[in-house]
Copies of this chain bind each other. A is one copy, B any other.
Amino acid sequence: MPDAAASDQLSTVFFALADPTRRSILGRLADGPASIGELAAPFQLTLATVSRHIALLERAGLVGKERNAQWRTVHLQAARLEEADAWLAPYRAFFEQRFDALETQLKSMKTTTEE
């Protein structure tokens, strides 16, 4: 990925989601804000490594960080997740009515914006 940083927002978001640790961190964050240390606790990873995972999530706009004394309070920022969800939405027709006539779904897809 020669220019992952220069890549579009959506790619950055999907890339951030392409890691179990990062998804797990987001899951934890859905319950409320937490410090880096708290977020790192469940994993067998160095604090430094988790810190970098969080930095990546931050660059993707999926979390925000505030400093509280010597702690960083990390919180979920779901807005960018919505973009990913929106991208996926048109494809829902393909699996929600899995056993229906596919042609109909294909037709409805054509009138929908994708990518």
Q: Which A residues have a C-beta under 8 Å from some C-beta of B? A: 7-8, 10-12, 14-15, 17-20, 23-24, 26-27, 30-32, 76, 78-79, 81-82, 84-85, 87-88, 90-92, 94-95, 106, 109-110, 114-115
Cβ–Cβ contact B31 & A110, under 8 A: yes
Q: Is A76 within 8 A of B94, CB to CB?
A: yes
> Judging by beta carbons under 8 Å apart, are B95 and A81 in contact?
yes
Contact between B81 and A88, CB atoms less than 8 A apart: yes
Partner of A78, one of B24, B81, B95: B95
In the assembled complex, how far is the CB of residue A47 from the closest CB belonging to chain B, in whole angstroms? 19
A85: which B residues are within 8 A, CB to CB? Answer: 85, 88, 91-92, 95
